[in-house]
A and B are shown apart, each in its own frame.
Chain A
Amino acid sequence: MFHNLQELRHSPSLVTKVFIQRDYSEGTVCRFQAKFPSELDNRIERTLLEETVKTLNSYYAEAEKIGGQSYLEGCLACATAYIIFLCMETRYEKVLRKISGFIQEQNEKIYAPRGLLLTDPIERGMRVLEISVFEDRGSGGSSPSSTMSSGSSAR
């Protein structure tokens, strides 16, 4: 079993990558599909992944929300000819930092112990949510049977 994130990152036993695509049914706002990918059927509980995706979607919705605060920020920035952004961070950037913290935390708590790794969508141009699946090689533990196993794990 992988015990921490570092072990997972340096492990060479990457099996495959699963991609969760964008959901454009509500327009161009950033949303990811809630559909559970079949390759992860026996790696992680459905509800956990769905919860992660739902939370991510809510973060992105917050970042792109058009309301009082965004208008204020936009007008202030326009009035100062956008020079203010040299000193101040935009709301979107603040939320993105929150998101990367969230993903890091999810990886440590939930995904790394199951041999998975989430990649922050911003590193993939917000196109996909990439989940790397690692094969639990060389452990005598009861890792779940993997559909992609090449018979490497000892039982």
Chain B
Amino acid sequence: MSQIQHAALDQQGRYNQICTRGGSCPPPADGSEPAHCPGHRSRSPRKKWQVFPGRNRFYCDGRIMMARQTGVFYLTLVLILLTCGLFFTFDCPFLASNLTPAIPAVGGVLFIFVMGMLFRASFSDPGILPRATPDEAADLERQIDSAGCSRPPPRTREVLINGQAVKLKYCFTCKIFRPPRASHCSLCDNCVERFDHHCPWVGNCVGRRNYRFFYLFILSLSLLTVFIFAFVITHVILRSNQTGFLGALKDSPASVLEVVVCFFSIWSIVGLSGFHTYLISSNQTTNEDIKGSWSTKRGKDNYNPYSYGNILTNCCAALCGPLPPSLIDRRGLIQSGTPQTVSQSNGTSNSSYASTQLHSNMCDQDQCIQSTKFVLQAATTPLLHSDPVVLAPLPGKTTTLGGPCAYLAPAQPSLPSCGGDVLMLRDAAVDSRCHHHLHLHHHHHHHHFVSPEETPCATPQGALPCPAHLHLHHQPHPAIPSPIALYDPASQDALHEDSVRGLVKLSSV
């Protein structure tokens, strides 16, 4: 590749591209925009890997992708190349001439296979699930909020797979319900399908798309390690037959290093291969095994619903099954009409939600808030127009006054999560007339909204209504003024009409 574009993250965590070809990229014009090469911005359309929201690095114009921390991967590379290099340089000539030239040939094939599998495992997409588009996220949010009557709203879904109950969790970063066996990698900040683990040696997550490469890598590497170990020992033994042990070591000092590296590698790598062979044959992921998801310790009826029942089928499915293509389309061009994915983490709502105004986005909570505002505004408007004689404004949240008439003592209008109930009515005393008014207003709307001061429950004789009716309890909404007015009985009917009108307005919300 003639042009390698190194990518880095800026403070907002968004993916930026820094051109490393000197001179061809003018410096960014202003610091407010993300530091993409401005020359490219206007001319060539950007590719999707350049705005990828996860913490991955991309090379070769998006063909290669890796995790952010790649230091251990380079260590792996160095160890393998060094050991193999030493083997081919120092041990193979002796072995080829004294034993058979098949040894370096087989070694060579093994080495190429190991490197191929390593690169495939490291550089390919492990099965990353792209984040939800804003429309999808909004739709899901609506479903979640309308589903539960309890707070907090349910963020898990239960699904029955082959008779086993599996919980699907909601990912706050990606704004999706994770498919079964998927998990969110915190290092790469992506949801990965059939997530096995994040391997620092390989510098990437191991998931659905690269598990077979990872497995073949560790299997072939363990074979290669055993191969090199065996033949280096053979080489030293054969030499020491000729020149004595110390002489042999002096003649090929590299062998010592190789033996040491291989010895320690064998324990870890062969062990790992054995473990993954067990996982493959039982069709589990490392993640599931560590959590004990399908262990019988959790319950007698707990079993792995993904297993095909027999070892051979499980192995074939994992290694020879169809290879799904990458879902993130990293080298595709960004089109102007394409919905961009939600890139904010921690579940905070972002401005792209504003673009989903095309369908009614108001959840019940919003409706409640809006309705409350309507009612209270409608109810206070006639008050302000009439001739107010202000009683002492009520400071407290719930204040009661004695009196012969019933008073409306609405509960604190806390934000509801369902049903749309905001203000609850409670009749403390019996007064048929007040009840009458209450019921009247109940008929006018289907929610239990009643403005706190709404029905001046004055007696038809023209007596002053008891102040209890005019309590306007302290509301959290700043739009509602707290002072209360005393009605002039003559205009009481008009006020009554107005508040009814206000409530009718409410019912149309």
Co-complex (A, B): yes
**Chain A: CB-nearest residue to B177:** A21
Contact between A90 and B327, CB atoms less than 8 A apart: no
With contacts defined as CB atoms under 8 Å apart, how many contacts are there between chain A and chain B in the complex? 105
Question: Is A17 a contact partner of B135 (Cβ separation < 8 A)?
Answer: yes
A16-B359, A92-B324 given; A28·B139 CB < 8 A: no
| Contact residues of B: prevailing secondary structure | mixed
CB within 8 A of B136: which of A19, A25, A83?
A: A19
A68-118 interface with B by 8 A CB criterion: 70-71, 73-75, 77-78, 81-83, 85, 90-93, 96
* B328 surroundings in chain A (CB, below 8 A): 125
> Does chain B have a CB within 8 A of A155?
no
Those of B308-328 within 8 Å (CB) of chain A: 313, 316-317, 319-325, 327-328
Interface residues of B in 345-385 (CB under 8 A from A): 358-360
With beta carbons under 8 angstroms apart, the residue of B162, B213, B323 that contacts A92 is B323
- List A contacts of B358 (CB < 8 A): 14-16
A48 within 8 A of B: no
A44 CB–B CB distance under 8 Å:
no
A65 to B322, CA, bound (A): 7
Chain B: how many interface residues by the 8 Å CB criterion?
A: 45
Q: Cβ of B170 < 8 Å from any Cβ of A? A: no
Distance between Cα atoms of A85 and B168 in the complex (Å) = 34
| Inter-chain contact A15/B359, CB cutoff 8 Å | yes
A82 near B120 with CB under 8 A, answer yes
Q: Flag whether B275 is at the interface (Cβ < 8 A).
A: no
Contact B216 A78, beta carbon cutoff 8 Å: yes
Residue of B nearest to A39 (CB): B359
Is chain A's interface secondary structure helix, strand, loop, or mixed overall? Answer: mixed
B260 CB–A CB distance under 8 Å: no
The interface residues of chain A lying within 8 Å CB-to-CB of B322 are 63-66, 70, 73-74, 90-92
Q: Which of B125-133, B401-409, B478-486, B497-505 contacts A (4 or more CB under 8 A)?
A: B125-133
Knowing A15-B358, A28-B306, A66-B317 touch, does A22 contact B136 (C-beta < 8 A)? no
User: Looking across the interface, which residue of chain B has its beta carbon closest to that of A92?
Assistant: B322
Contact call B180/A24, Cβ cutoff below 8 A = yes
A67 to B316, CA, bound (A): 9
Q: CB distance A28 to B327 under 8 Å?
A: no
| B4 contacts chain A at the CB level, 8 A cutoff | no
Inter-chain contact A82/B116, CB cutoff 8 Å: yes
Q: Please report the C-alpha to C-alpha distance between residue A15 and residue B317 in the assembled complex, in whole angstroms.
A: 43
Is B306 a contact of A27 with CB atoms below 8 Å?
A: yes
Q: How far is the CA of A140 from the CA of B202 in the complex (A)?
A: 63
- Which residue, A14, A63, A81, A90, has most C-beta atoms of chain B within 10 A? A81
What are the residues of chain A within 8 A of B136 when measuring CB–CB? 19, 124, 127-128, 130
B469 at the interface (CB under 8 A from A): no
Give A34 to B120 CA distance when docked, in angstroms: 37
The yes or no answer to B117 lying at the interface (CB within 8 A) is yes
- Residue on A nearest B124 in the bound complex, by CB: A82
Shortest B212–chain A CB gap in Å is 8
Cβ-based interface call for B104 (8 A):
no
- A70: which of B213, B216, B320 is its contact (CB, 8 Å)? B320
Q: How far is the CA of A92 from the CA of B120 in the complex (A)?
A: 18
* A125 & B180 in contact (Cβ 8 Å cutoff): no
Partner of B129, one of A17, A65, A127: A127
Whether B179 contacts A124 by the Cβ 8 Å rule is no
Q: List 11 A-B contacts (CB under 8 A).
A: A17-B359, A28-B194, A64-B321, A66-B321, A66-B322, A70-B322, A74-B319, A78-B319, A81-B112, A82-B116, A125-B130
Give me the 9 closest cross-chain CB pairs, A-B, nearest first.
Answer: A74-B320, A16-B359, A125-B130, A81-B116, A125-B327, A71-B320, A24-B159, A92-B322, A17-B135
Since A28-B180, A125-B328 are in contact, a sample of 15 more A-B pairs with Cβ atoms closer than 8 Å, ordered by chain A residue number, is: A14-B358, A24-B161, A24-B179, A25-B159, A25-B160, A28-B179, A64-B321, A74-B320, A74-B322, A90-B322, A90-B325, A124-B133, A125-B129, A126-B327, A128-B136
